[in-house]
Amino acid sequence: MRHLFAAAAAAATLTLPLPALAWRSDGHQTAATITAALIKGTPAEARVKALLGDLTLADAAVWADCAKGIKPDSGYRYPSPGRYASCAPMETPEHIAEMADYVRRNFRQCHPHAGEEDCHQQYHYTDVALQRSRYIEGFAGTSSHDIVGAMQAAIRVLQGQPATAPMDFKSPREALLVLVHLVGDLHEPLHVGTAYLDTQGRYVDPDKTGLDPDSVTTGGNSLHVAGTPLTGPGSLNLHTVWDLVPETFKPRHVDAAWLAQARQVPPDGGSPLDWPARWASESLQQANVAFEGLAFSPKQGANWDVGLPRGYDARADAIKHRQLALAGARLAGLLRTLFPQ
Ligand SMILES: [Zn+2]
């Protein structure tokens, strides 16, 4: 399932990606499991534990997705206890109250445009055109409160500074809960880069021609995989293809070889505030690989059809495996830098 909360999923068709359990919960928890192994025995491990209390890093990795179902129109109630196993650790009255408080402060304060999602849902992605070679805020599909802006705000709070508006992260604990998830999302290529298409299914460049809302493919959500049902069970879009991870990538399969690969990831230098944009630029390059060789039908209703070439799953899995190692290693490096002692 691409969408954590189907009601929210049905609402948005025009602009930006819908609420996603990116990587599903498994991918997020796999990356966090790698992180936990890489910070074991360091001061960062103790600081993370002090902030998260009864939640593990792997629990925390889905907190920001579990919070997505809480809405003002249902009185900020948690809508679906028991529905998502990965959200179970957050389904206590105290944790639900904490998520609801976060949603209250991060719901409309960014003044979403018509058709845009609520603010905290926009924190999970950006939508840079594939024609760009890197992430720069100001490009079509970016905003001050996209995934890069939200991660920078969370890092600031963990450095003891206030969050940058419009993000409202009230404490280092809340900033960490958000950050653990967003590092995972940032390494899902379709949370960063996407195609913009005309009605004939040809690429357009929104930074050259101006952003036409009809050209937005919502991070691949509007790209229906040809040969799958249009809706219901078995229905697939390109975003879902990239959110899914195979059974062998689930957290219990994090083994010595995968950890060794993660330990090979070069450490980042300079200010951590610069790291999210740098990592986004790399994910954008992976998004370009994800779109290689794809052809699109003319637009039908709100969607285009996309045919996946032979061998596409294997190509995608190789990228996912590497991206999960990168996400796990980079979060570990970030936590070690933020919590050196
Ligand atoms: Zn997310």
Model confidence at 1: pLDDT above 60: no
Task: Write the burial class of residue 208 (CB in 10 Å: 0-12 exposed, 13-18 middle, 19+ buried).
Answer: exposed
Q: Show the domain range for 159.
A: 6-338
Residue 328 Cα to ligand 1 midpoint, Å, equals: 15
Task: Answer yes or no: is 215 within a domain.
Answer: yes
Model confidence at 143: pLDDT above 50: yes
Q: What percent of the chain has pLDDT over 90?
A: 86
As a whole number, mean pLDDT of residues 211-231 equals 94
Q: What is the pLDDT of residues 251-262, one digit of tens each?
A: 999 999 999 999
Residue 228 Cα to ligand 1 midpoint, Å, equals: 24
176 contacts 163 by C-beta, under 8 angstroms: no
The CATH number given to whatever domain includes residue 277 is 1.10.575.10
Residue 340 Cα to ligand 1 midpoint, Å, equals: 27
Residue 118 Cα to ligand 1 midpoint, Å, equals: 13
Task: Answer yes or no: is 48 within a domain.
Answer: yes
Mean residue pLDDT of the chain comes to 91
24 contacts 249 by C-beta, under 8 angstroms: no
pLDDT value of position 23: 57
Model confidence at 173: pLDDT above 90: yes
Q: Residue 135 corresponds to which tokens in the numbers above?
A: 């992430």
Query: Structurally, how many domains does the chain consist of?
Result: 1
Q: Which residues surround ligand 1, an ion (CB under 5 A)?
A: 22, 124, 185
Task: Answer yes or no: is 155 within a domain.
Answer: yes
Model confidence at 21: pLDDT above 80: no
CA distance 142 to 116: 12
As a whole number, mean pLDDT of residues 21-41 equals 89
Model confidence at 146: pLDDT above 60: yes
Residue 182 Cα to ligand 1 midpoint, Å, equals: 6
Residue 200 Cα to ligand 1 midpoint, Å, equals: 30
Residue 53 Cα to ligand 1 midpoint, Å, equals: 22
DSSP 213: G
As a whole number, mean pLDDT of residues 197-212 equals 97
Picking from 51, 57, 54, 48, the residue whose alpha carbon sits closest to that of residue 30 is: 57
Q: What is the pLDDT of residues 33-55, one digit of tens each?
A: 999 999 999 999 999 999 999 99
- Which 3 state secondary structure label does DSSP give 341? coil
CA distance 318 to 84: 27
Distances in Å between the alpha carbon of 88 and those of 58, 85, 107, 112? Answer: 12, 5, 23, 30
As a whole number, mean pLDDT of residues 166-192 equals 98
Chain centroid offset of residue 329 CA: 16
Residue 275 Cα to ligand 1 midpoint, Å, equals: 18
- Which 3 state secondary structure label does DSSP give 307? strand
274 contacts 54 by C-beta, under 8 angstroms: no
Residue 103 Cα to ligand 1 midpoint, Å, equals: 14
As a whole number, mean pLDDT of residues 3-29 equals 48
CA distance 273 to 137: 14
223-225 and 295-296 as β-strands: parallel, antiparallel, unpaired? Answer: unpaired
Residue 63 Cα to ligand 1 midpoint, Å, equals: 9
Instruction: Specify which of 14-28, 76-90, 139-153 reaches the highest per-range mean pLDDT.
Output: 139-153
